[in-house]
């Protein structure tokens, strides 16, 4: 190889291979010749040889020594050839890039493509078609497509040699494509058909000697190969056979249906026939039953046991007849046997209900005026209720024969006992018509809330005049003088007990509570019929029946809420029962119009908050200041808790209610027993509302602690009271009324306890908290010792029950010890003071203390105190020498740390392997990313080049047009100048 620079080496290599510069050739030789000529072929071959020589020079490692890397071994060994000593990293890199580009480029180009194979052949997804039918239909369609493409049957088909079956059957029913030398023909394919003498067998001879015309007699030969025509004929025959079988089955079903229709006429005669036919049938059955009995009596003289055998058929026949009658009666009363219409939408049902109420009201007014009800009216029917289910048709519409079309025999065969049971059941249903049916939808989830709310009926009482004045703003923004008129209206409504049959069916939708009270008073509606009136108003003014009905129902929600508060003012006449019956309607309207409902309830809560602020500002210890909530406020809080979810973390109505309850319990001072009753009612609401969320409510716990201490501990100078104050200061419980002079009269005295023991009054029954709201225990109030003692005992019992409820509610809380330990110490203080309590309360206090002690011990044991962050302990340096148990290993590097533990060494090896593989994977991902980036760069470069080329082309065309335009203008100016010059001459 020539020495010198790389350029000299390249020139020498080019000259040695015979490659010359094209510029040195003559013009004639450089001219491209046509490849069709001999000179062009020679020129093309020379160019290919030139390109091949250049490729060899380019790929030669000696051309660029920097492209080749040589790894020098440490020890030279003669005759040893090691792989990988020499390498070309540049070529390897370019090859790897090409392979990576070939692999990633299709993935990049097809990353947004998605395709699935859909089998669109006929009948592929139809499970009703058999394989034969599917194949036949496909074959038929294929033939039709071929016919359309080739114009089969037209002029072109006359000269189409490919038309018709592929195999034409000519000789002996065989195709011409069949090899004549096969064994099934002449038997020339071998000598198996020859006999032992070398002759031809009889079958072949009979086929050759004029026997080929009788091949149709040999069609049953199983070894004969069927042609395509025969196969298709068999497929068509099977398809026709299956079609014929389906047709026969359909005809058989039709015949059976017609037979059943003919036989059903006799069954219809038995069901709806005249009475005399059924009577004759019964007489015939009795006659057939008495004949065996007569024969038995005649044979009794001969055989002693024939009597029982003779009576048995009659008894069996009678039982069968009774079973048949019972079955037919059940079939007639079965709702499934009657034709039914389609299910109607809610709007259609609402429209029908409104129309039914209007028709009923029109008929009622006609009857009231003494007019005749036109045909098709409801003169023979009783007055239907709002939710009448038509379950009492037998009461007013005659017997079953008239209603269901039964024969007179079946209608009269009902015995007296069944008739009495039916009447009793109908009476029960009619009684429940004004109760459960009118209170809302059956099976609604509000029934449990109603059951809980009905307990408040026994807990309510009449308020004082001052309390009524305080509720004016809560019930409505009316002057104080309007309250007595409302009370008179409410008392007149609750005292009226008009018959429900005279209740109107249509009412106007009231916009205010005054309109609602006037509506009830003008129609003489009793308190038990108020839910029915509300249900009918909702049915008449359904949202789908009018544009303004939504606004009317939204206003009705506020009216119902006002009426509930109005009824809760006087619980002696059953006001809380009315509230419980109206609660489902309030709940449903609130679910339908949640925004309007939230505004109504939040407005009432704001009024309560303002009233509480006014009472506290007037004087927290003033007995005339209304600080604690009354019956109406308590009813509102209870309704709010029943309508809206109280377990939400944040709710637009439930959260303000919880804050208001907390302010009542924290800011209001205890003055009388009614204040204690209000506070205990609020604490019970907290225990009920927080049952799901289990949020800690410290205000209720603090109030219960203060209430128990006020009711049990004695005078301010007692030792027990001082210990209770120390407990209060130790746990930080705000109890300003504990040990105060205005609460000294609230504690149980010896005289009151003695009166309770002498009368034998039990203090273990639940306290009627709302009934106790009207009980005044101030110094000026006059009550005997027994009455005061009974009220205090009931309140104390309720406080113990609430403490136990909160202990169960907060069980499992991290702060359980801090929450319940004050109560355990307070119970211990009461026991140590030997306070004279009734026997039931002493037992309850001891039980509560034992329960709290066990729960606190368990909570203290299960709770783990806070600890500092646990750090890994630093081990001491080991001075024990390490021994190489594996022996000397010359392949091991000296820098590798030896680990005597084989498991730890294996784990380290696996970690190193994982690290190595991870690095390799990261390297490959980086290379893939680089290849993708390079491909994107190329694509962008091509797009930019294409855009630049297009821009240049457009710019050039515009420049040409501009140039032509300039030339045109110059030529035009030139012509103008020539004309001027000529004109000037």
Say if CB 534 and CB 553 are below 8 A apart.
no
Sign of the Cα pseudo-torsion (446, 448, 453, 458, in order): positive
How confident is the model at residue 81, as a pLDDT?
84
Q: How far is CA 139 from CA 161, 162, 412, in A?
A: 20, 17, 70
Rounded to 10°, the helix 594-618/631-643 angle is: 150
Q: For residue 475, count other CB atoms closer than 10 A to its CB.
A: 24
Which of 21-35, 190-204, 811-825 has maximum average pLDDT? 811-825
Q: 446: which 2 tokens?
A: 């509000």
C-alpha span between 529 and 578 (Å, rounded): 9
Residues 6+ apart with CB under 8 A from 101: 931, 935
Say if CB 512 and CB 395 are below 8 A apart.
no
How confident is the model at residue 336, as a pLDDT?
62
Terminus-to-terminus CA distance in the chain, angstroms? 88
How confident is the model at residue 196, as a pLDDT?
47
pLDDT range class, residue 395, cuts 50, 70, 90: very low
DSSP code per residue over 894-950? TTSPP-S-HHHHHHHHHHHHHHHHHHHHHHHHHHHHHHHHHHHHHHHHHHHHHHHHH
Q: 421: which 2 tokens?
A: 């049971």
pTM of the predicted model over 0.85: no
Calculate mean pLDDT across residues 154-177.
50
pLDDT range class, residue 874, cuts 50, 70, 90: confident
Which of 158-167, 324-333, 379-388, 771-780 has maximum average pLDDT? 324-333
C-alpha span between 366 and 369 (Å, rounded): 5
C-alpha span between 589 and 864 (Å, rounded): 49
Say if CB 520 and CB 533 are below 8 A apart.
yes
Q: How far is CA 819 from CA 697, 704, 803, 815, in A?
A: 10, 12, 11, 6
pLDDT range class, residue 405, cuts 50, 70, 90: very low
C-alpha span between 721 and 736 (Å, rounded): 13
Q: How far is CA 667 from CA 616, 662, 702, in A?
A: 8, 8, 12
How confident is the model at residue 644, as a pLDDT?
92
Instruction: Give per-residue pLDDT as tens, 656-705.
Output: 999 999 999 999 999 888 889 999 999 999 999 999 889 999 999 999 99
**Degrees to nearest 5, angle at CA 353 with 348 and 354:** 100
Which has more confidence, 855 or 762? 855
C-alpha atoms less than 13 angstroms from C-alpha of 961 in its C-beta half-sphere:
6
For residue 455, give the DSSP letter.
G
**Degrees to nearest 5, angle at CA 170 with 168 and 173:** 95
How confident is the model at residue 392, as a pLDDT?
43
Supply the mean pLDDT for the chain: 74
Q: How far is CA 186 from CA 33, 202, 221, in A?
A: 66, 12, 17
Unique residue bearing structure tokens 């994107």: 936
Helix (H, G, I), strand (E, B) or coil at 69: strand
Say if CB 655 and CB 637 are below 8 A apart.
no
Instruction: Give per-residue pLDDT as tens, 254-280.
Output: 888 888 877 776 766 666 554 444 445
Q: Which of 43-47, 129-133, 367-371, 557-561 has the lowest mean pLDDT?
A: 367-371
Q: For residue 625, count other CB atoms closer than 10 A to its CB.
A: 20
Q: How far is CA 132 from CA 165, 242, 248, in A?
A: 20, 10, 20
C-alpha gyration radius of the chain:
54
C-alpha span between 620 and 762 (Å, rounded): 34
Residues 6+ apart with CB under 8 A from 386: 357, 437, 438, 532, 535, 536, 539
C-alpha span between 433 and 527 (Å, rounded): 15
Q: Decide if pLDDT at 636 tops 70.
A: yes
Calculate mean pLDDT across residues 433-441.
40
Enumerate the β-bridge partners of residue 70.
86
Which has more confidence, 738 or 422? 738
Calculate mean pLDDT across residues 296-315.
52
How confident is the model at residue 428, as a pLDDT?
45
Closest CA to 558 of 592, 594, 512, 595: 512
**SS3 labels along 117-177:** CCCCCCCCCCCCCCHHHHHHHHHHHHHHHHHHHHCCCCCHHHHCCCCCCCCCEEECCEECC
The domain spans of the chain are 6-70, 347-371+446-634, 669-863
């Amino acid at each position: 190889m020539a020495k010198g620079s790389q350029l000299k080496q390249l020139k020498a290599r080019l000259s040695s291979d015979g490659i010359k510069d094209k510029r040195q050739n003559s013009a004639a030789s450089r001219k491209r010749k046509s490849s069709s000529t001999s000179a062009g072929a020679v020129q093309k071959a020379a160019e290919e040889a030139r390109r091949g020589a250049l490729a060899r020079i380019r790929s030669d490692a000696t051309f660029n020594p920097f492209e080749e890397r040589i790894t020098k071994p440490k020890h030279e060994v003669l005759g040893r050839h090691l792989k990988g000593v020499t390498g070309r990293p540049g070529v390897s890199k370019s090859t790897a890039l090409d392979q990576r580009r070939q692999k990633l480029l299709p993935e990049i180009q097809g990353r947004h493509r998605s395709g699935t194979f859909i089998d669109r052949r006929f009948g592929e997804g139809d499970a009703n078609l058999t394989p034969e039918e599917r194949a036949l239909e496909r074959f038929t369609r294929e033939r039709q497509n071929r016919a359309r493409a080739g114009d089969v049957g037209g002029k072109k088909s006359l000269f189409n040699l490919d038309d018709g079956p592929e195999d034409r059957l000519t000789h002996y029913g065989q195709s011409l494509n069949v090899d004549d030398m096969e064994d099934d023909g002449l038997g020339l394919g071998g000598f198996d058909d020859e006999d032992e003498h070398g002759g031809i067998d009889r079958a072949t001879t009979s086929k050759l000697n004029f026997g080929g015309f009788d091949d149709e007699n040999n069609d049953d030969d199983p070894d004969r190969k069927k042609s395509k025509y025969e196969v298709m004929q068999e497929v068509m025959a099977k398809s026709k056979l299956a079609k014929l079988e389906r047709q026969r089955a359909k005809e058989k079903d039709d015949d059976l249906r017609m037979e059943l229709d003919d036989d059903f006429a006799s069954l219809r005669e038995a069901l709806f026939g005249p009475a005399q036919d059924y009577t004759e049938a019964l007489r015939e059955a009795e006659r057939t039953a008495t004949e065996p009995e007569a024969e038995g009596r005649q044979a009794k003289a001969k055989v002693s046991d024939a009597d029982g055998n003779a009576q048995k058929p009659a008894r069996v026949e009678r039982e069968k007849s009774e079973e048949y009658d019972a079955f037919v009666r059940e079939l007639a009363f079965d709702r499934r046997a009657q034709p039914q219409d389609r299910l109607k939408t809610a709007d259609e049902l609402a429209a029908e209900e409104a129309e039914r109420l209007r028709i009923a009201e029109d008929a009622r007014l006609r009857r009231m005026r003494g007019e005749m009800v036109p045909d098709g009216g409801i003169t023979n029917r009783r007055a239907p209720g709002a939710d009448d289910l038509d379950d009492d048709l037998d009461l007013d519409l005659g017997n079953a024969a008239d209603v269901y079309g039964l024969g007179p025999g079946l209608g009269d065969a009902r015995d007296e006992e069944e008739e009495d049971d039916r009447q009793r059941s109908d009476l029960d249903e009619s009684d429940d018509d004004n109760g459960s049916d009118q209170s809302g939808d059956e099976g609604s989830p509000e029934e449990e809330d109603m059951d809980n709310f009905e307990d408040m009926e026994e807990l309510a009482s009449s308020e004082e005049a001052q309390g009524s004045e305080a509720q004016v703003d809560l019930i409505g923004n009316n002057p104080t003088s309007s309250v007595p008129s409302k009370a008179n209206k409410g008392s007149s409504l609750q005292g009226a007990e008009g018959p429900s049959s005279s209740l109107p069916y249509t009412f106007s939708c009231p916009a205010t509570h005054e309109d609602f009270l006037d509506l009830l008073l003008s129609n003489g509606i009793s308190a038990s019929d108020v839910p029915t009136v509300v249900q009918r108003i909702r049915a008449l003014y359904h949202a789908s029946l009018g544009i303004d009905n939504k606004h009317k129902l939204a206003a009705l929600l506020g009216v119902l809420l006002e009426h509930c508060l109005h009824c809760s003012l006087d619980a002696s006449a059953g006001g809380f029962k009315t509230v419980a019956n109206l609660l489902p309607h309030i709940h449903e309207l609130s679910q339908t119009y949640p925004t309007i409902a939230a505004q109504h309830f939040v407005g009432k809560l704001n009024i309560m908050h303002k009233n509480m602020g006014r009472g506290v500002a007037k004087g927290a210890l003033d007995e005339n200041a209304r600080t604690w909530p009354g019956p109406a406020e308590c009813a509102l809080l209870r309704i709010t808790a029943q309508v809206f979810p109280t377990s939400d973390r944040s709710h637009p109505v439930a959260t303000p209610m919880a804050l208001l309850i907390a302010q009542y319990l924290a800011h209001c001072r205890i003055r009388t027993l009614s204040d204690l009753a209000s506070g205990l009612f609020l604490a019970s609401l907290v225990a009920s509302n927080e049952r799901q969320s289990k949020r800690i409510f410290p205000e209720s716990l603090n109030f219960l602690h203060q209430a128990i201490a006020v009711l049990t501990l004695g005078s301010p100078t007692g030792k027990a009271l001082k210990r209770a104050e120390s407990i209060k200061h130790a746990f930080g419980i705000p109890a300003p009324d504990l040990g105060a002079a205005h609460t000294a009269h609230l504690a149980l005295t010896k005289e009151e306890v003695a009166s309770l023991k002498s009368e034998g009054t039990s203090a273990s029954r639940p306290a009627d908290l709302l009934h106790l709201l009207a009980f005044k225990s101030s110094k000026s109030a006059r009550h005997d010792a027994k009455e005061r003692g009974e009220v205090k005992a009931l309140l104390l019992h309720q406080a113990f029950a609430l403490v136990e409820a909160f202990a169960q509610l907060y069980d499992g809380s991290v702060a359980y010890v801090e929450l319940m330990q004050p109560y355990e110490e307070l119970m211990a203080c009461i026991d140590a003071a030997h306070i004279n309590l009734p026997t039931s309360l002493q037992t309850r206090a001891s039980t509560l203390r034992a329960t709290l002690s066990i729960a606190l011990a368990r909570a203290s044991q299960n709770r783990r105190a806070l600890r500092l962050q646990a750090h890994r302990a630093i081990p001491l340096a080991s001075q024990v020498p390490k021994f190489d148990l594996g022996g000397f290993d010359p392949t091991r590097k000296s820098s590798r740390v030896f680990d005597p533990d084989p498991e730890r060494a294996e784990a380290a090896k696996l970690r190193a392997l994982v690290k190595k593989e991870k690095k390799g994977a990261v390297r490959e991902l980086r290379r893939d990313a680089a290849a993708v980036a390079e491909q994107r760069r190329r694509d962008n470069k091509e797009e930019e080049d294409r855009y630049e080329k297009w821009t240049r082309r457009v710019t050039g065309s515009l420049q040409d047009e501009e140039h032509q335009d300039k030339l045109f203008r110059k030529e035009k100016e030139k012509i103008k100048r020539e004309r001027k010059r000529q004109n000037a001459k």
